[in-house]
Amino acid sequence: MAAPAEPRVCSIARTLDVVGERWALLVVREVFLGNHRFDQMVRRTGAPRDTLTARLRTLVGAGVLERRRYSEHPPRFEYRLTDAGRDLYPVILSLLHWGDQHLAGRDGPPLVLEHRCGHRLVPETTCHACGEAVEPTDVTRRSTVQA
């Protein structure tokens, strides 16, 4: 009898259930970039309006975005990051950085960020405890059930 070995219970999979659908993270990117309105998002992401509607609903439902009325007459809405949404910043930065490293053409990265320290922002993933940069080989599993 071959061990069925259920699909792994995993925070990565859970996160992707929320932000893993097509366009979801590009929507989040736009909100980080300051574009909070439906029409802006349509234009800057290229997502079909229908799909965008669906994604916004999922993201609001998951507590990543908040739908907020900014005009009464006529009623108009915009989308803002919740605290949980702001916590996605490392996800956005790491995706951005990987693209900069591996997919930038001869023109270099299309978007360059600057940290308040005055230098170009190159994001680095570090261990909160010791402050050192984290390499895959420096990490082990603690107390897990399965291989």
Partner DNA sequence: CCGAGTCGGTCCGAATCCTGGACCAACTCC
Partner DNA sequence: GGAGTTGGTCCAGGATTCGGACCGACTCGG
Which CB sits closer to DNA, 1 or 145?
Answer: 1
The full length of the chain comes to 147
CA pair distance 92, 77, nearest whole angstrom: 24
Partner touching 1 among DNA, a copy of itself, none, CB below 5 to 8 Å by kind: DNA
Which CB sits closer to a copy of itself, 72 or 85?
Answer: 85
Q: Which of residues 69-108 bind a copy of itself (CB under 8 A)?
A: 84, 86-104
Partner touching 101 among a copy of itself, DNA, none, CB below 5 to 8 Å by kind: a copy of itself
Q: Is 130 helix (H, G, I), strand (E, B) or coil?
A: coil
CA angle 48–52–56, rounded 5-degree value: 180
Interface with a copy of itself includes 113 (CB under 8 A)? Answer: yes
CB 45 within 8 A of CB 52: yes
CA pair distance 73, 75, nearest whole angstrom: 5
Phi, psi (deg, nearest 5) at residue 112: -115, 130
Q: Which of residues 17-76 bind a copy of itself (CB under 8 A)?
A: 18, 20, 22, 25-26, 29, 32, 34-35, 43-46, 63
Which CB sits closer to a copy of itself, 46 or 61?
Answer: 46
Which CB sits closer to DNA, 117 or 147?
Answer: 147
